[in-house]
Amino acid sequence: MLFRSVGAGGVGKSALTVRFIQGNFVEKYDPTIEDSYRKLTEVDGTAYMLDIMDTAGQEEYSALRDSYMKTGEGFVLVYSITTNTSFEAAGKLRTQILRIKEETPDIPVMLVGNKLDLEDERQVTTEQGRALAQKFQSGFIETSAKTDTNIKELFFSLVRLVKTWRENHPEHHKDRKSTRLNSSHAVHL
C-alpha cells in the first residue's frame, strides 16, 4: 500500500512516520525533502507491506509533492493542533490531493491532528478537526508522536480505509502484484 504523508512544515509528519516505523521519537526538527519507509505490518489478521512516503511540507517543494501524490493510495493529512495555519493548510492540501487524483475523488485520507501532548497550546479543537474530516468524508484521529498516542491506530485505520476502497474500486488496482507471506496477503505496489 502506497501511503503519502502530507501537511505544512513542522506539523510532525516525519515524527509520526518514524514513531510508527522505528518506534522512537525524533526530537530535533529537520525539514524533510523526501523520505521513504517500508514496513510489513499485520492488520486484522492480514499482512500488508506499507510504503510510506514522507513529503516536504515547505511550499518550495510543492511540485515534488504533487508527483508523489499521483501515486498515493492513501493519505496521512497532518496538521498541528497548536497552529490554525497548519489546519487551514490541511484544507488546501486536501483540495490539491483531489485535483491530482481527479479520477478517484474518494481516495482514502486520514485527517490527523498531531501534537496532542501540547494540549495547553491547542488552537484547533477536536470538534473543528472532526467537522473538517466529516466535510472531507475522511477518517479522523488526534495523535502525539512524542507520547506514542494513537500512532498504530492512525496507520491501521488508513490500511482499513484503503482495503475497503480497493474492494469498492477493483478497476484501479487490478494490475497490481500481490504476494503471499506466511499465508497472509502482503501487497507490493
Dihedral angle computed from the Cα positions of residues 99, 101, 105 and 106, in that order, rounded to the nearest 10 degrees:
-140
How do residues 11-53 score in pLDDT, each as one tens digit? 999 899 999 999 989 877 665 555 788 999 999 999 999 999 8
Whole-number pLDDT of residue 187: 38
- pLDDT truncated to tens, each residue of the chain (189 aa)? 999 999 998 899 989 999 999 998 987 766 555 578 899 999 999 999 999 988 755 454 455 556 677 888 999 999 999 999 999 999 999 998 988 888 777 899 999 999 999 999 999 999 999 999 999 999 999 999 999 999 999 999 999 999 999 999 887 765 444 433 433 334 333
0.95 cut: is pTM over it?
no
Which pLDDT value is given to residue 32? 53
Is 56 within 8 Å of 34 (Cβ atoms)? yes
pLDDT tens track for 78-89:
999 999 999 999
Residue 30 phi, psi (nearest 5): -130, 105
Question: Grid coordinates standing for 13?
Answer: 509528519
CA distance linking residue 93 with residue 110, whole number of Å = 12
One-letter amino acid for residue 26 of the chain:
V
**CA-to-CA distance for 184 and 180, rounded, in angstroms?**
6
Q: What is the pLDDT of residue 142?
A: 98
pLDDT number for residue 183: 34
Q: Report the pLDDT value the prediction gives residue 121, as an integer from 0 to 100.
A: 98
